[in-house]
């Protein structure tokens, strides 16, 4: 596995993240008949919050991103915008980043303000990323024709 690190994102990162999103999601979105070259970038820009986002760097260079957005009650966070450049996929970086963020959640929250409890996400139907999430105890909560909604840490 390559050496990687995560750092807090800034507003200056939004264009690189939007471009990476367009590249990473293109195949799945085209397969689902949902790819729109402008919209795929604009949706990221419209929802980008640097405070909730980390940039993944490999060898000091931009390689990806991930966000944990608090839900309204702050007892649940949404794992979003988890994109990794194709050159770095399959080498354990995504697993390492996910493991680190989930460990932070389990230890008392990503911001040190207390445990998060539940982490939710959605992944596109047919995306190989679903296997990664299943390895980290995410289970399907609901699904539709486009998205699979998954949750980790929900207790009955």
Q: Who wins on pLDDT, 73 or 124?
A: 124
Q: Are strands 118-124 and 76-84 parallel, antiparallel or unpaired?
A: parallel
Q: Is the dihedral of CA 8, 74, 41, 144 positive or negative?
A: positive
pLDDT at residue 116 in the model: 58
For residue 1, what pLDDT is reported? 61
pLDDT of residue 108: 61
Per-residue pLDDT at 156: 45
The token duo for 14 is: 């939004």
- What confidence tens digit (pLDDT) does each residue in 92-108 have? 999 999 999 998 887 76
pTM for the predicted model, two decimal places: 0.89
Contacts of 11-15 with C-beta under 8 Å, sequence gap 24+, read: 11/50, 13/50, 13/53, 13/55, 13/62, 13/65, 14/44, 14/45, 14/48, 14/50
What mean pLDDT value characterizes the chain? 90
**Amino acid 155: pLDDT:** 58
Dump pLDDT digits (tens) for 15-66: 999 999 999 999 999 999 999 999 999 999 999 999 999 999 999 999 999 9
For residue range 62-82, what is the model confidence (pLDDT) as tens digits? Answer: 999 999 988 877 678 899 999
61 — phi, psi (to 5°)? -110, 150
Residue 109 pLDDT greater than 60, yes or no: no
The sign one gets for the Cα dihedral 99, 104, 106, 111 is: negative
């Amino acid at each position: 596995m390559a050496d990687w690190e995560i750092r807090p994102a800034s507003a200056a990162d939004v264009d690189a993240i939007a471009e990476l999103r367009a590249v990473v999601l293109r195949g799945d979105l085209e397969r689902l008949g949902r790819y729109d070259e402008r919209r795929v970038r604009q949706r990221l820009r419209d929802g980008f919050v640097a405070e909730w986002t980390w940039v993944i760097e490999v060898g000091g260079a931009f390689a990806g991103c991930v966000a944990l957005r608090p839900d309204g009650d702050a007892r649940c966070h949404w794992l979003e915008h988890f994109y990794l450049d194709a050159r770095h996929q399959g080498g354990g970086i995504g697993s390492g980043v996910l493991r680190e963020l989930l460990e932070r959640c389990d230890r008392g929250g990503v911001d040190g303000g207390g445990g998060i409890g539940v982490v939710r996400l959605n992944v596109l139907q047919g995306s190989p990323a679903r296997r990664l999430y299943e390895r980290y105890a995410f289970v399907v909560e609901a699904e539709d024709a486009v998205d699979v909604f998954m949750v980790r840490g929900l207790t009955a």
